[in-house]
Amino acid sequence: MTTGSAEEVLAIDVQNLIDSLHQAEDGGAETAQNSTEEPVPEKLPEQGSEIDVDVVELASTGEGLAVQKGSKRVYVVPFAVPGDTVKVKVYRHLRDEGYTVADFVSVVTPSPSRDDSRVQCKYFATCSGCQFQMLDYAHQLQLKKRIVEKAFRHFSQLPPELIPAIQDTIGSPLQYGYRTKLTPHFDGPAGWRRGKQPFESCPPIGFMAKGKRNTIDIEDCPIGTDAVRLGMKRERERMTAEYGKYTRGATILLRESTKRIPKNISEEEAARASPPPPEDAAIRVETDEYTDLKTCVTDNNGQSTEYVGPYVFHNPAGSFFQNNNSILPVFTDYVRQHILPPTLSPASPPQPSSSTPTPTPTPTPTPTTSTPPSATPQIKFLLDAYSGSGLFTITLSSILPPGGRSIGIDIAESSIRYASRNATSNSLPPERARFVAADARDLFTAELRAACAADETAVVLDPPRKGCDADFLRQLLAFGPRRVVYVSCNVHTQARDVGVLVRGETEGGGLAAKDGGKEDGGKDKDKEVVGKKTRYAIESLRGFDFFPQTGHVEGVAVLNRVDE
């Protein structure tokens, strides 16, 4: 299985550009085939030298791909977009890979799409965090749509006719001030590996420089929420006084947490129930219905509280939870609208904020089934693999009919404890939403198969960046739920896994379990899967922009089981 790593994605984009440059030559492939002469190796500029290059393509990793005039050598350049001519400093020639890594120096001639007055951070083009601050937001969304398109073209191993048109990327209501979690850090003092000498002065605290191993001292990050930025200021002040206590580097957690006070309760009453944070440590946000006091948690073992629409979620502050709260109501509503088949969806598609340049979802055809819609069983069960603290298990539970239930599974026991608590906080009894601490590959047990009929079950997948492993996909195909919604922070591993589900087989045509395919008294699960030959059709694909100003895009793929 492909890894979908940044290195693999970049290598594919570079090779495709190299191929297109050669094909654009006069005579093309025919000239190359008829020539008996060995190509003359191109003399490359010395490492450390500065040259001008023209950016002709954007890699899915966010870097610009550029060429020097009169050359087909590809240079990978950060902070540059197609149409730019930029001055770069040659860093390293990767001869086997066929490209050169270069550092951005300056813009010689800007692209029509570049406007540096849009940049809101003085560390942009040095810090490794953002890539797109110079671009109009609508243009950023177009680029991210193309990233999803390329991911499914190159990683799904599916013919084009099985991949529907990628829908427009849903934008974030906030393009700055959106990140509810940041993790600045500082490096250890000189010689810290050899001894335990403390710092003699406060070290730089911030983020990594692009292409370097040093930390830039960054006092403020405009993509963080106001509470996170306040927390960053306070932590820097603390370090100014306490740096002498440290003998090695460390990462600082900055996680927003919200205390919500309804307007029909006085702040005095609320204070008696739960003491408010100090005024100088909180950001106050007023709405018609409530007052939010937003603070920054810095203890990894502490607790953060977050609201997503009408739902409340408590989490270990250091654990994973989506980092852009502004888009979460739109995002969860979208999954809610698509977890059921179109004829059974509970309401009209979600409408993002009018201030956000986002499209209304467009309809796409669904695959035909052998059962008339009127006779199709109702979806009663929701299985949430990689459930974390219950985001989808809880926000989707209300769409199930009486007697239906949501089941979430996560390998982290602490996440399951918080998920169960979150269900209680959202008035969901255990018979409506329950959680199991186990690996996702252990989700489809015999007990579960007996309790949840595949025809009445929808599955939500939200795995880590590496995607699903072959063993999990084998079990998913063996169970064969009616509908699958696959959410991913890595659209390349998502495309790879969706390709497996559409073909109905894993790599090599077999679905080998880690125990050789046998379990429960020697039953051969591989034969069960291959004989059943479950496969899926893609109903829709689209991106969500959880991280404006960066090259990252979240993908949502909606799949229907094909009944033949």
Which residues on neighbouring strands pair with residue 316, listed in sequence order?
303
The active-site residue, picked from 63, 149, 505, 554, is: 554
Active site residue 489: yes
Tokens 């540096």 correspond to what residue? 116
Integer CA distances (angstroms), 530 to 370, 470, 533, in order:
20, 14, 5
Q: Cα(141)–Cα(134) distance, rounded to whole angstroms?
A: 13
Whether the Cβ atoms of residue 457 and residue 400 lie closer than 8 Å to each other: no
DSSP 490-532: -HHHHHHHHHHHHHTS-GGG----TTSSEETTTEEHHHHHHHH
C-beta separation of 313 from 305 below 8 A: yes
**How far apart are the C-alpha atoms of 375 and 197, rounded to whole Å?**
74
Strands annotated E in 151-223: 167-170, 181-182, 185-186, 206-208, 215-217
How far is the C-alpha of 115 from the C-alpha of 407, rounded, in Å?
A: 48
Parallel, antiparallel or unpaired: strands 185-186 and 311-316: unpaired
Catalytic, out of 149, 489, 505, 539: 489
Contacts of 123 (CB under 8 A, 6+ apart): 206, 216, 218
3-state DSSP assignment of residue 208: strand
Catalytic residues: 489, 554
